[in-house]
Structure 1
Amino acid sequence: MKNSFIRYSLAIVLAACATGAMAQQLKTTQLSAGMHLIQAEVAVTDDQREVGLMYREKMPANAGMLFVFGAPATQCMWMKNTPLPLSVAFIDAAGKIVNIEDMQPHTLDSHCSTKGVPVRYALEMNLGWFRQKNIKPGITIGNLPPLR
């Protein structure tokens, strides 16, 4: 019984550490979408993009996560271990939104940019944010970080 309790306690501590590591401190930037300002965490490395918004329970109304990709390509997002319902805008190198997809929590469905249109960024916001602000494909996102 004592060993079971110790193993259980250790598992809880390890899970908490892993979750804390997942909520890594990322650089932030202020983006613009028309007259709307967005405070976005920026995921640039493979590890940062892989973790994304996993394990996040909530996100402020005008906050999001910007994924920066190393090369122009079709990109896909998923919601593994992500409890927040999100919308994602796929954005080309010039900052123009190519398409927007809604994503449900804890799913492994792929949500991809329009095939044949290479993107360099993806911006995840709370579900419906783009629709509520009347932000559609073709609109440009301003103040994106420079590409490498």
Structure 2
Amino acid sequence: MSASRPFSLLRVLTLFCALAAFCQARAEPTLETVRIVTATGEHVFKVEIADTPKTRMRGLMFRKSMPQDQGMLFDFKSEEPVSMWMKNTHIPLDMVFVAHDGRVASIAADTEPFSEKIISSGEPALAVIELNAGAARRISLAPGDMVRHRLFRQ
């Protein structure tokens, strides 16, 4: 009996380590490519997809930083006026509101971290892309520019 007990403990520890590795691997977000076409050319960003109520609600809240070439794409599943806020969001962001056909509908640049002020799309949008503040200015993004991603009909 004493020989099997250490063996069982070893099996449990091995299983625990495998589970911990699996959970950590799952914690890494899957990134997809978004291409934004402006007057200055095509600009590529890697984005996390927020397409469930839970992921859309959490968004980028509580994160302290984000690489310059990354962002988050919120898929709202239907085109309608969209409202966002910056509650519990540490990173200043540019919010790019995108219509179903990939056209940039509007932009909220340099949003204020932690603000509970409502930020509206101003017109119907299917999605919002959140990028680090200053990205829209850096790539000369303007309403009417195009976003290329599997989500948008083009």
Choose from 28, 31, 50 the match for 2:31: 28
Contact 1:95–1:142 (CA<8 Å) still a contact in 2?
yes
Unaligned runs of 5+ in 2: 1-26
Counterpart-to-counterpart distance in 1, 2:72 and 2:92? 13
TM-score (ref. length: structure 2): 0.75
Whole-angstrom CA distance in 1 between matches of 2:120 and 2:30: 25
- Measured in 2, the distance between the counterparts of 1:98 and 1:25 equals 30
Give CA-to-partner distance per residue, 1:79-125, whole Å, 9 cap, x none: 111010001000000000000003110010111101xx321000000
- In structure 1, stretches of 5+ residues that fail to align are 1-23
8 A Cα contact 1:52 1:65, kept in partner: yes
Larger radius of gyration: 2
Q: What's the Cα RMSD here?
A: 1.5
Give the percent of matched residue pairs that are identical in Structure 1 and Structure 2.
30
Aligned residues: 122
Kept in 2, the 8 Å contact 1:30–1:37? The answer is yes
The alignment partner of 2:130 has SS state of strand
Give me the TM-score of the superposition, normalised by structure 1: 0.78
**4+ residue runs of structure 1 moved beyond 4 angstroms?**
none
Q: In 2, Cα distance between the equivalents of 1:25 and 1:71?
A: 27
**1:139 corresponds to 2:145:** yes
Give 1:135 shift.
Answer: 1.2
